[in-house]
Amino acid sequence: MSQQTPDAPAGSVLPPAGSGKRVRVHHLTAAKAAGERLTMLTAYDAPTARLFDEAGLDMLLVGDSIGDNMLAHENTIPVTLEEMIPPARAVARSTKRAMVVVDLPFGSYEGGPQQAYDAAVRVMKETGAHAVKFEGGARVADQVRLITDAGIPVVGHLGFTPQSENILGGKRVQGRGDDAAERLCEDAVALQEAGVVAVVLEMVPAPVAERVTEILTVPTIGIGAGPSCDGQVLVWLDMAGMGDWSPRFAKQFGQVGAALRQAAQTYASEVRSGSFPAGEHSYQQ
């Protein structure tokens, strides 16, 4: 039986947990206007998505980070659209409140608006998700515009864009220096004018992220971008302490990996000793 989730703060513009009401696009802009922080985590499967939904997360991202976090790739680049569909479907089916956002993986939108539209339509039709996300600024504005005109919400992604890590020279902070910061702001405005409903800012200096947040009317979601963004997102494995390492910008809010390892060790020990299964775990007739 799931635990009771505390109600949202008095006066919250977001649907309260347990209300059965979905977080929608208009809630995002209302939350920004009200100064209410948005919460987002990645999710890649049904049990995790259900737990996060019950915990009151506003948005769940089925990220192409599935590549280096769940599929044992070195980065996100090898992930295909076909690999994104099943986890996105599982997450969308397992949530009642959270807005489910799905990444378009590398190679599924860069070719132009029609390619991006086709990929986005497939995601929406085959998964039941509520929005798509992809990387880039002004260069993908036409893609954003066509997809948005078709009625599909788009979340932008600026700063460090993992699909471009080879041309960026690795996992490096973006937007450093006046010129780079100005370009990032211009890209953010271009995305907003094209119709995005939110913009993820990854590995961006906090003052630059604060500036972008000020000039946009749509919310910013930070990951390694300081405290001034309108919301925050983390890869859930980093948040929950599933490994021995996590990025500098992440905080481990639990030690789930250690607890899971201990549970598995205890299980193996009891099976080997013969203490499991005991009588209460067995059918007698």
Q: pLDDT tens across 94-129, in order?
A: 999 999 999 999 999 999 999 999 999 999 999 999
Give the residue ranges of the chain where pLDDT is below 50: 1-5
> With contact defined as beta carbons under 8 Å apart, do 13 and 30 qualify?
yes
The whole-number pLDDT of residue 285 equals 85
pLDDT at 10: 59
**Residue 136, beta-bridge partner list:** 157
- How far apart (Å, rounded) are the C-alpha atoms in residues 89 and 125? 10
At residue 3, the pLDDT reads 47
Identify the three-state secondary structure at position 78.
coil
CB atoms within 10 A of CB 58: 23
Local structure of residue 153 (DSSP, 8 states): -
Among the listed residues 94, 8, 7, the one whose alpha carbon sits nearest the alpha carbon of residue 49: 94
What pLDDT is stored for residue 2 in this prediction? 42
* Residues in CB range of 88: below 8 A, 6 or more apart: 62, 100, 102, 123, 127, 129
Per-residue model confidence (pLDDT) at position 32: 98
16 Cβ contact partners less than 8 Å away, ≥ 6 residues apart: 7, 8
> CB neighbours of 158 closer than 8 A, spacing ≥ 6?
135, 136, 137, 174, 184, 187, 188, 191, 199, 200, 201, 202, 204, 212
Residue-level pLDDT at 179: 97
The rounded Cα 235 to chain-centroid distance in angstroms is 7
- 270 noted as active-site residue: no
Q: How far is it, in rounded angstroms, from Cα 101 to Cα 201?
A: 15
Count the alpha carbons within 13 Å of 38 in the hemisphere toward its beta carbon: 34
Selected catalytic residue, list 193, 202, 270, 280: 202
pTM to 2 decimal places: 0.94
> What tokens appear for 22 in the block?
């979905």
